[in-house]
Amino acid sequence: MRILTPPQPFDIQNNEKSVFLAGSIERGNVENWQTYITDRLAAAQWTGAILNPHRESWDSSWVQSIDNQVFKEQTLWELQAMEQADWIVYYFQPQSQAPITLLELGLHATKQKSIVCCPEGYWRKGNVDIVCEHYKLNQVLDLEAVVQEILRLN
C-alpha cells in the first residue's frame, strides 16, 4: 500500500486501486481517522494507493486565498486527487462541521465513486443522508465499514 500526501505529486499506477480520504480534518479537535483507515488497510495488506490530503506541514495561519501559493497548491492537489481516485471516502465526524467535505461531496455526488460515513450527531446529517439517497451513494455506518468497503476494491 502506498500513502500519498501533499505536496508530493501523486502517480497512480496502472491497475492500482486508489482511494481519496475526504473528511473532517481539524487538528486537535477531532480524531485522526485517516490513520485508523490506513493502519487497518495496512494490516489487511491492501495493495492500493491512499490519497491522504492531511498535510503534516500545514500551518493554520496560512491565508486561505487564491493568492497564497501554498494554499492554492494544497487545494489543487486535493481537487486533482479526487478527480483521479477510483473511490472517495467522505467521513463527517460528529464533533466537526467539515464544510469543505460537504463541498467535496457535492462536487462528486453524481460520479458514483463515493463511500460516505456520516454518524449520528453530525450537524448536517439529514442533508448528507438525502444527497446519498438521491444519488444512490454508498453510505456506511462507521469507519470499520469504510475499511471493509475499500478492501472489496481489490
Examine residue 115 and state whether it is found in any structural domain, yes or no.
yes
For residue 100, CA distances in Å to 2, 66, 143 come to 25, 16, 19
Amino acid at 151: L
Contact present, 140 and 117 (Cβ < 8 Å): yes
Q: What is the pLDDT along the chain (154 residues), one digit of tens a residue?
A: 999 999 998 889 888 999 999 998 765 566 789 999 999 999 999 999 999 998 877 777 889 999 999 999 999 999 999 999 999 999 999 989 999 999 999 999 999 999 999 999 999 999 999 999 999 999 999 999 999 999 998 6
Examine residue 9 and state whether it is found in any structural domain, yes or no.
no
**Helix spans in 31-142 (H):** 33-43, 69-84, 99-108, 125-135
Range(s) of the domain holding residue 135: 14-54+65-151
For residue 91, CA distances in Å to 36, 75, 79 come to 12, 18, 17
pLDDT of residue 117: 98
Examine residue 86 and state whether it is found in any structural domain, yes or no.
yes
Examine residue 60 and state whether it is found in any structural domain, yes or no.
no
Examine residue 23 and state whether it is found in any structural domain, yes or no.
yes
pTM for this predicted structure: 0.94
What are the grid coordinates assigned to 91, written together? 467521513
Domain of 83, CATH number, reads: 3.40.50.450
Examine residue 73 and state whether it is found in any structural domain, yes or no.
yes
pLDDT of residue 30: 63
Give the whole-angstrom CA distance, residue 63 versus residue 56.
17
Give 113's Cβ-side CA count (13 Å radius): 19
Examine residue 98 and state whether it is found in any structural domain, yes or no.
yes
Total number of domains in the chain:
1
Examine residue 7 and state whether it is found in any structural domain, yes or no.
no
